[in-house]
Amino acid sequence: MLNKLIDEEIKYIGSQLQPHWIYKNFKMQGDAIVAFIGECEVKLTEMVDIEDVINNEPIYSKSMLSFITEQFNINLVEGVFRQRLLICIIKELLEKRGIFVVRNGDDLMIDGKKLSVSIATKSTTSILIHTGLNIDSEGAPVKASGLTSDLGITDIKEFAKEVMEAYAEELKDIELASTKVRGV
């Protein structure tokens, strides 16, 4: 899986969750994951999560670390598994830094405050996942935690690289593991 940290700041508004966004913008063809930092403001009209729309819960973060991945030739259920795998990898890497994290489905919580947003969806050609981690919790519409504002993590770009590399390696290892067994 290709991975890249985008240096430029990007405001995540939800429209980036579309087929070939990574390929068109960063010339990364095939399964890929990118990370970037920027404000996050997803209005109800751009929401993919119908439950959030029904509950009138738009998403906002003054500063967020966003991961977008596009993966081909898998179905939506496998995409949700991969979304949860990404969340578990983030949890593990935070715990290696001594931070206690509670995972509830695709949500990461710190002391009862929401650290993450995440969604997996199916496009006409692929599975798309967005996972965002608050960097600054100020101004969030829910009780939130931030990587820097609350957890003291200042090396956000290094953390993003760790997450993407661990995710790509785990998927590669899963695929390799599937090739070493004989059928019964």
Q: Is residue 46 part of a domain?
A: yes
Report if residue 50 sits inside a domain: yes
Is 173 domain-assigned? yes
Number of domains within the chain: 1
- Alpha-carbon separation of residue 127 from 5, 13, 112 (angstroms): 20, 18, 30
* pLDDT digit string, tens, across residues 9-37: 999 999 999 999 999 999 999 999 999 99
Sign of CA dihedral 28, 36, 78, 94: positive
Kindly report the pTM of this predicted structure: 0.96
| In a domain? residue 104 | yes
Q: Is residue 183 part of a domain?
A: no
CATH number, domain with residue 21: 3.30.930.10
Give the residue among 102, 135, 127, 114 at the shortest CA–CA distance from 57. 114
Q: How far apart are CA 45 and CA 102, in angstroms?
A: 30
- Summarised one tens digit per residue, pLDDT across range 55-81 is 998 899 999 999 999 999 999 999 999
Residue owning tokens 């519409």: 141
In a domain, 32, yes or no: yes
Residue 182 lies in a domain: no
**Domain span holding position 13:** 2-177
pLDDT at 168: 98
Alpha carbons 184 and 170: distance in angstroms, whole number: 25
184 part of a folded domain = no
Using DSSP, state whether 79 is helix, strand or coil: helix
* DSSP letter, residue 72: -
